[in-house]
């Protein structure tokens, strides 16, 4: 058996004396001792745990220094003791398999407990023979760093770093499992898409650190009511998803359970938030898509829940909506129209019609530019069909810019071709278009490039646009008025119609909405509203024009009550520029 240490071996050799060993062998023995000492020093500096164990009685014969530090034991207490005292029983069983020749080498991962906790180790076991003796060599490697790295990689791959919820990748894995289980057990599940209403406004006004704090608190709130076995994930900015599994066998009952859970989420998220000293309230729009064991891809399920969520937003937010195939059809129709509208700009399919505006004598004094889409298959598409889509998608910015440039160009052409016929041109401006930082430059460029007279151009604004930011609105109006551009308040009476802002706005004209004009002959309330608007306009020294005038009775009423400008089918429908020239300008 090997000696327990080098000093014991040295003493034995020296003790043999000259009678047993010639002096000529002393240098060789000394060299051998030095080699053994160097070898032991090398083993003690190794980062791996090294055990040499007698295969017969499982006694430890030798260990290196890191074994002592890991097991928190001295070398003296380790050597000659049984290995079973120090290593897990599972490892001993694997050693016995080696001795039986079942395997040549075994690798196994397990932990060893010490005062610092459990140390994860990777062991390699080998069975070796030296002469007539058999030994186990056990090599152990601390894999704490590797485990930590693996854990970090796993976390980054499958969890959201801000909220620590499952991310899109992990959600997809869970959804695939849930769909398979639903098919196997014939139980209905549900996917809830939760979107925070007006989250972008909070981020933009209070900063991303406040927005992040809200997301963290939302995640914590929803987590408190999610059932064990279900999945809560954050898949993008302010979008959360809850995967509910095994609700019920009947779809109707499962829908009730899903709606009940969604209602709890909605009211829970409505509670006030304390965001780093800032108190905030928010609502959520929730879409629900059911799955019932029938073949359905996870992409389809996510899309359905997303469609339902957007339906909830369109209905006014802070709502819950279930997916309906009709929603899918509407979304696909909207997507197709958006693509075609983008193409319409480049293919010059957008055109302008013009509706005459006349004075008390019925003489044309101006026109309103009205947008139409000349679709190659569907023909003329009215603005109420595609303008809301343009607003929603942001296409209203390039579309509005095109309208400004084309209308100004047309006005310039009319001034040149019909100099005896002075006209003013009214152009509708959307809220998003007006709020663009470059709106002033867009208008100025359209006027400059066309060579038209700015004093003949009137921009029509809506009440809702003005109220969004009245100070900024006034500044933009005044800047454009310096160019000579006039302003009309469109659809007056349908919104807030507040005198407090009306007297502050540098306007030129009020436009009475056609909804009041339509019934002035037999609705006393509408008649009174129209009279009040006309009187108000005169008090503020503003022109007043009525739109939607369709018969003589309406015209006479408006004229008798002081209205001086008119627009409607009684005088002319919206028409191409060539027709307007033929009927009114030639």
Q: Where are the domains of the chain?
A: 46-146, 159-323, 334-585
Give 113's strand partners: 118
pLDDT confidence of residue 1: 42
- The mean per-residue pLDDT over the stretch 101-126 comes to 83
Q: Does pLDDT of 296 surpass 90?
A: no
Measured distance CA(485)–CA(501) in Å, rounded: 20
Q: What is the pLDDT of residue 431?
A: 87
Cα–Cα distance, 527 to 512 (Å, whole number): 12
Fold of 46-146: Beta-Lactamase (3.30.450)
Q: Which residues pair with 108 in a beta bridge?
A: 123
Strand locations in 404-512 (E): 424-428, 457-461, 486-492, 509-512
Average pLDDT over residues 321-345: 85
155 pLDDT exceeds 50? yes
Residue 31 has pLDDT above 80, yes or no: no
DSSP-assigned letters across all residues of 304-364: HHHHHHHHHHHTTSS-EEE--HHHHHHHHHHHHHHHHHHHHHHTT-EEEEEEEEE-TTS-E
Q: Report the share of the chain in percent with pLDDT over 70.
A: 89
CB < 8 Å & 24+ apart, contacts of 547-555: 547/511, 547/512, 547/513, 547/514, 547/517, 548/513, 548/514, 548/515, 548/517, 548/518, 549/517, 550/518, 553/521, 554/517, 554/518, 554/520, 554/521
pLDDT(103) > 80: no
Between 24-38, 191-205, 223-237, 243-257, the lowest mean confidence (pLDDT) is in 24-38
Mean pLDDT of 468-473: 77
The alpha-helical segments, DSSP class H, found in 207-297 are 208-223, 251-270
What is the average per-residue pLDDT within 311-335?
A: 84
pLDDT at position 498 over 70: no
Distance of CA 384 to the CA centre of its chain: 29
Dist. CA 499–CA 505, nearest whole Å: 10
Distances (CA, A) of 477 to 91, 369, 402, 446: 83, 20, 20, 16
What is the Cα–Cα distance from 490 to 455, expressed in whole angstroms?
19
DSSP state at residue 166: B
CATH architecture assigned to 334-585: Alpha-Beta Barrel (3.20)
- 313 contacts 202 by C-beta, under 8 angstroms: no
In this structure, the number of other CB atoms found within 10 A of the CB of residue 149 comes to 11
* pLDDT at 25 (0 to 100): 58
Of 25-29, 355-359, 501-505, 515-519, minimum mean pLDDT range: 25-29
> Sorting pLDDT into bands at 50, 70 and 90, what band is 490?
confident
CA neighbor of 286 nearest in space, from 229, 224, 217, 222: 222
Domain 159-323, CATH 3.20.20.100 — does that match?
no
Nearest Cα to Cα of residue 86 among 49, 116, 56, 55: 49
Q: Work out the pLDDT band at 517, boundaries 50, 70, 90.
A: very high
Whole-model pTM above 0.85?
no
Other Cβ atoms within 10 Å of 17 Cβ, number: 8
Q: What is the mean pLDDT of residues 209-219?
A: 95
Check whether 501 has a pLDDT greater than 70. Answer: no
Check if 159-323 and 334-585 are the same fold: no
Q: How far is CA 393 from CA 287, 341, 349, 396, 580, in A?
A: 21, 10, 19, 8, 33
Tell whether the model's pLDDT for residue 28 goes beyond 80. no
Residue 524's alpha-carbon distances to 314, 344, 456, 519, 521, in angstroms, are 34, 45, 36, 9, 8
Nearest to 140 by CA among 77, 74, 83, 80: 83
The two three-digit tokens of residue 225, written as one number: 């009511």
Which DSSP letter does residue 286 get? E
Q: Averaged over 347-358, what is the pLDDT?
A: 96
Q: Looking at 195-199, 404-408, 495-499, 512-516, which range is the least confident one?
A: 495-499
Show the tokens assigned to 226.
Answer: 């999610």
Model confidence at 364, in pLDDT bands (50, 70, 90)?
A: very high
Residue 373 has pLDDT above 80, yes or no: yes
- CA separation for the pair 144, 137 (Å, rounded): 22
Q: 325-346 vs 298-314: helix axis angle to the nearest 10?
A: 80
The predicted-structure confidence for 404-424, as pLDDT tens digits, reads as follows 999 999 999 999 999 988 899
> What does the mean pLDDT of the chain come to?
87
With bands split at pLDDT 50, 70 and 90, how would you rate the model's confidence at 477? very high
């Amino acid at each position: 058996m090997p000696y327990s240490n080098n000093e014991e071996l040295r003493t034995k050799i020296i003790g043999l004396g000259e009678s047993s060993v010639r002096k000529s062998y002393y240098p060789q023995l000394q060299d051998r001792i030095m080699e053994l000492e160097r070898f032991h020093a090398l083993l003690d500096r190794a980062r791996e745990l090294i055990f040499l164990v007698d295969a017969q009685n499982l006694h430890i014969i030798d260990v290196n220094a890191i074994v002592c530090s890991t097991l928190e034991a001295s070398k003296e207490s380790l050597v000659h003791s049984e290995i079973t005292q120090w290593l897990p029983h599972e490892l001993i069983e694997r050693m016995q398999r080696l001795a039986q020749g079942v395997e040549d080498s075994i690798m196994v991962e397990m932990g060893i407990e010490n005062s610092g906790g459990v140390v994860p180790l990777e062991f390699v076991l080998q069975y070796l023979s030296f002469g007539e003796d058999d030994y186990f060599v056990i090599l152990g490697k601390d894999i704490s760093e590797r485990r930590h790295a693996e854990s970090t990689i796993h976390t980054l791959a499958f969890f959201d770093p801000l909220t620590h919820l499952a991310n899109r990748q992990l959600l997809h894995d869970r959804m695939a499992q849930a769909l398979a289980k639903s098919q196997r057990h014939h139980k209905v599940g549900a996917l809830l898409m939760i979107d925070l209403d007006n989250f972008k406004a909070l981020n933009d006004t209070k900063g991303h650190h406040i927005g992040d704090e809200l997301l963290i608190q939302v995640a914590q709130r929803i987590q408190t009511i999610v059932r064990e076995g279900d999945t809560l994930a954050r898949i993008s900015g302010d979008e959360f998803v809850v995967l509910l599994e095994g609700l019920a066998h009947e779809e109707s009952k499962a829908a009730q359970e899903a709606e009940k859970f969604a209602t709890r989420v909605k009211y829970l998220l409505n509670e006030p938030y304390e965001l780093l000293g800032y108190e905030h309230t928010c609502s959520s729009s929730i879409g629900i898509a059911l799955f019932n064991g029938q073949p359905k891809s996870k992409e389809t399920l996510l899309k359905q829940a997303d469609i339902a969520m957007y339906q909830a937003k369109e209905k006014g937010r802070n709502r819950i909506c279930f997916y309906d195939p009709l929603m899918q059809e509407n979304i696909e129709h909207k997507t197709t129209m958006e693509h075609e509208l983008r193409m319409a700009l480049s293919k010059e399919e957008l055109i302008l019609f013009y509706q005459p505006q006349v004075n008390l004598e019925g003489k044309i004094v101006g026109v309103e530019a009205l947008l139409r889409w000349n679709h190659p298959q569907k023909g003329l598409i009215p603005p109420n069909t595609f303008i809301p889509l343009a607003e929603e998608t942001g296409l209203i910015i390039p579309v509005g810019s095109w309208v400004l440039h084309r209308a100004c160009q047309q006005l310039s052409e009319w001034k040149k071709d019909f100099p005896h016929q002075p006209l003013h041109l009214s152009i509708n401006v959307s809220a998003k278009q007006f709020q663009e930082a470059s709106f002033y430059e867009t208008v100025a460029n359209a006027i400059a490039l066309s060579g038209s007279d700015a004093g003949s151009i009137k921009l029509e604004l809506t009440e809702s646009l003005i109220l969004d930011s009245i100070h900024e609105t006034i500044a933009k109006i005044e800047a454009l008025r310096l160019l000579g551009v006039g302003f009309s308040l469109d659809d007056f009476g349908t919104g807030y119609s507040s005198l407090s802002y009306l007297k502050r706005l540098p306007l030129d004209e009020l436009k009475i909405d056609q909804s009041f004009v339509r019934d002035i002959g037999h609705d006393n309330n509408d008649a009174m509203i129209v009279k009040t608007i006309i009187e108000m306009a005169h008090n503020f020294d503003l022109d007043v024009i009525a739109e939607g005038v369709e018969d003589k009775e309406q015209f006479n009423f408006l004229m008798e009550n002081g209205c001086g400008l008119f627009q409607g089918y009684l005088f002319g429908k919206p028409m191409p520029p060539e027709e307007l020239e033929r009927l009114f300008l030639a």
